Amino acid sequence: MKCSHPPSLPKPITAILSVDLLVRILDHIVDAGDRKSFRLVCDHFLLAESLHRRSLRPLRLKYLPSLLGRRYPSIESLDLSVCHSLDDNSLATAIASGSYWQKLRRVGLARASGVGWKGIEALVTTCPLIEAIDLSHCCEVGDRVAAALAKAAGLRDLRIDKCLGVTDVGLAMVSVGCGRLERLGIKWCMEISDIGIDLLVKKCRNLRVLDLSYLQVTNNSLRAISSLEKFEALSLVGCRFIDDEGLAFLNNGRNSLQSIDISRCQNVTWFGIASVIEGHRNLQIINMGDCHTEVTPAFLSQLSLIKTTLNILKLDGLQISDSGLQNIGSNCNNLIEIGLSKCLGVTDKGIGELVSSCTCLRSIDLTCCHLLTDNVLTAISKYCINLTCLRLEACSLMTEKGFGQIATGCSQLLEIDLTDCSINDIALQHLTKCSELKVLKLGLCANITSKGLAYIGSNCNNLEELDLYRCVEVDDYGLSFLADGCKRLKKLNLCYCIQITNQGLQYLSSLEWLSDLELRGLVNVSSMGITSIAFGCKSLVELDLKGCSSIDDAAMFALARYSLNLRQINISNCSVSGVGLCKLLRTLKCLQDAKLVQLTRTSVEGFEFALRASRCKLKKLKLAGDLMELLSPKLLQMLQARGCRIRWVDKPMLFNSLTIE
């Protein structure tokens, strides 16, 4: 859209808003849609936006040269995790295409399962300034890739979560090569042990953030880590060999630890955490959820040592008495976030005491605290006026009265989880007064009808995520309100809302930004409805059609034609045949994850042909276990070699009767 100014107007908008002013405005525009609108104003705005943009997440590699080379000169951060068919060759070609790669500082390659050490080596040698690389969930990445990474001497931030092939040797190479490393994530790298951590600590003295979750490391690693002087955040989720003795090593107070996450460590008790607190008076975040420990008065009094700094405390799954909650309230006044999900023994009285002292609370998680009633909501609405996030899943004793108070007291609420709270339309009417709501979860609230959705549609214009799982009363008419009012909706869950038909989906097709749509078990929806969704919702990335038994090949053709950005699809139990499947897999270049179980109308040859037609670009595949024998071994080998992980599901499979033996 080009602005053409009639010559009679003396001052065009460009004269008033110079580029640097526009750039300043852009600092405050985060949402992708808003930025798009901004770009479309005029050339001048477009220029400002392209100058301002620092990060890019391209969907297709082939446009990268023109994007990076001409349009966005100041890109520093490039996320290639959603680029389709990314492998060593295409990456090398892209890197060779221009000098702009040399300016890159951050590169994201999460789940880029096709990229190997050659690609990484090319990347690292081409980008001398590179500071951050994300390779998480590239499961087949091994020591050879680590060796390539080690050549990036300036690397500060590295994530190799779930790179299953990385061993101590790989980590050691990275430690030696990247001595300036500050943040490292090696979660789920199951072959890394104490010896690797020890060397890491010796070589990378600037380490600040370390994620060792689910590793087999022992206390010796903690002893080594305790010598790091700049250390700030440690994550030890599910480290079963860590115990209190190890945490006592951190007690030396030599570093400025701010955050510690030891949730799901079986052998850690409150005593170990107390000793950490003893040594680190600046601790801000403690997550000790699901540790097999109890919350003793001694521990709570220890919390008073970090009274001023503690912001986030998570005690999920522990047993806490009323007096314990009262103690937390009096000892930690500055709490911003508290997690009490699945805590036993949490009552109205305790929460009342807690919130009356912690008035800064912004996020409260009370998931599965079954005993809580409206009194809690009254207390929260009275004291926590800044509350933005409230999770009340399965707190079924709460009524519309309480929610009315929440709506008046906590008007800044952004996120509320009411799954399984069996709330009704009246409660929803109250809650929708919080017009800033972005996330609303109403799963399993069978009482909600179109009336409730009308309240949502008319009040919550900023809603981005709505969960209506098994809200069986919801019908097409209700969806029309959503489609009219919540134009920003990105995620929508309508699973098992069985009254919905093609008409409802027709309404939803006006949601331009919808990226995530779950339509499980909607038996009344046919290919027609999916076609309208595919046509209207251009941003669709994830689609779940499991058990929509009326959906056939026509829907696949429509998706193949219009939903070019589709990355994940579940068409298990649909009436899709080999032809539709073939068309889908062949045409959708971005498709990465496909769940294809119990496609009773698809023959084995249909599978074989469709998977071959996909050019093996899929990263994740779910297939019936019987197919393991029936598909050609060469195909399976090819798929796996391209980085595709196949999950075989053992479900009885009925093949298409048209299968010709």
Contact 291, 266 (CB under 8 A): yes
SS3 340: coil
User: Shortest Cβ distance from residue 140 to another protein (Å)?
Assistant: 4
Binding track, positions 119-158, relative to another protein; x by CB under 8 A: --------------------xx-xxx--x--x--------
Q: Is 252 in the site for another protein (CB under 8 A)?
A: no
Q: Is residue 308 packed enough to be buried (19+ CB in 10 Å), middle (13-18) or exposed (0-12)?
A: exposed
| Closer CB to another protein, 369 or 558, in the complex | 558
Q: Is 360 in the site for another protein (CB under 8 A)?
A: no
- Residue 656 is which amino acid? N
User: Shortest Cβ distance from residue 247 to another protein (Å)?
Assistant: 22
Q: How far is CA 192 from CA 120, 168, 213, 217, in A?
A: 21, 5, 11, 8
Pick the binder of another protein from 13, 25, 29, 169 (CB under 8 A). 169
| Closer CB to another protein, 454 or 618, in the complex | 618
Provide the strand spans (E) within 262-305. 285-287
User: Shortest Cβ distance from residue 623 to another protein (Å)?
Assistant: 12
**Only segment of 75-83, 126-134, 161-169, 310-318 that touches another protein (CB under 8 A):** 161-169
User: Shortest Cβ distance from residue 264 to another protein (Å)?
Assistant: 13
| CA distance linking residue 150 with residue 117, whole number of Å | 11
Pick the binder of another protein from 29, 51, 176, 630 (CB under 8 A). 176
Pick the binder of another protein from 26, 124, 127, 177 (CB under 8 A). 177
In residues, how long is the chain?
A: 661
| Closer CB to another protein, 468 or 555, in the complex | 555
Pick the binder of another protein from 14, 117, 307, 626 (CB under 8 A). 117
Pick the binder of another protein from 79, 88, 512, 626 (CB under 8 A). 88
SS3 417: strand
| CA distance linking residue 49 with residue 24, whole number of Å | 10
| Closer CB to another protein, 204 or 389, in the complex | 204
How remote is the C-alpha of 178 from its chain's centroid? Answer: 28
Contacts of 440 by beta carbon, 8 Å cutoff, 6+ apart: 415, 416, 418, 431, 456, 460, 463, 465, 466, 467
Binding track, positions 56-85, relative to another protein; x by CB under 8 A: -----------------------------x
| Closer CB to another protein, 293 or 526, in the complex | 526
The interface with another protein within residues 554-593 (CB under 8 A) comprises: 554, 557-558, 561, 577-579, 582-583, 586
| CA distance linking residue 145 with residue 197, whole number of Å | 18
| Closer CB to another protein, 92 or 426, in the complex | 92
User: Shortest Cβ distance from residue 579 to another protein (Å)?
Assistant: 5
| CA distance linking residue 492 with residue 173, whole number of Å | 45
| Closer CB to another protein, 498 or 635, in the complex | 635
Task: Kindly write down the DSSP assignment for every residue of 564-617, as one continuous string.
Answer: TT--EEE-TTSB--HHHHHHHHHH-TT--EEEE---TT--HHHHHHHHHHTTT-
Q: Is residue 70 packed enough to be buried (19+ CB in 10 Å), middle (13-18) or exposed (0-12)?
A: exposed
| Closer CB to another protein, 59 or 649, in the complex | 649
End-to-end CA distance of the chain: 58
Q: Is 180 in the site for another protein (CB under 8 A)?
A: no
Residues contacting another protein: total by CB under 8 A: 71
Dihedral sign for Cα 375, 381, 386, 390, please: positive
**Only segment of 189-197, 225-233, 453-461, 486-494 that touches another protein (CB under 8 A):** 189-197
The interface with another protein within residues 210-239 (CB under 8 A) comprises: 216
Q: Is 202 in the site for another protein (CB under 8 A)?
A: yes
Q: Is 19 in the site for another protein (CB under 8 A)?
A: no
Neighbours of 446 (CB within 10 A): 13
* Nearest C-alpha neighbor of 526 from the set 508, 507, 500: 500
User: Shortest Cβ distance from residue 230 to another protein (Å)?
Assistant: 16
Q: Is residue 564 packed enough to be buried (19+ CB in 10 Å), middle (13-18) or exposed (0-12)?
A: middle
The interface with another protein within residues 531-550 (CB under 8 A) comprises: 531
User: Shortest Cβ distance from residue 126 to another protein (Å)?
Assistant: 18
The interface with another protein within residues 602-621 (CB under 8 A) comprises: 603, 605-606, 608-609, 612-616
Pick the binder of another protein from 66, 74, 89, 301 (CB under 8 A). 89
Q: Is 412 in the site for another protein (CB under 8 A)?
A: no
Q: Is 90 in the site for another protein (CB under 8 A)?
A: yes
| Closer CB to another protein, 329 or 606, in the complex | 606
How many separate helices (H) and strands (E) can be counted in the chain? 28, 24
Q: Is 504 in the site for another protein (CB under 8 A)?
A: no
Contacts of 428 by beta carbon, 8 Å cutoff, 6+ apart: 442, 448, 452, 455, 456
Q: How far is CA 30 from CA 37, 256, 511, 587, in A?
A: 12, 32, 20, 32
**Only segment of 61-69, 343-351, 373-381, 645-653 that touches another protein (CB under 8 A):** 645-653
| Closer CB to another protein, 27 or 661, in the complex | 661
Q: Is 530 in the site for another protein (CB under 8 A)?
A: no
**Only segment of 30-38, 192-200, 315-323, 357-365 that touches another protein (CB under 8 A):** 192-200
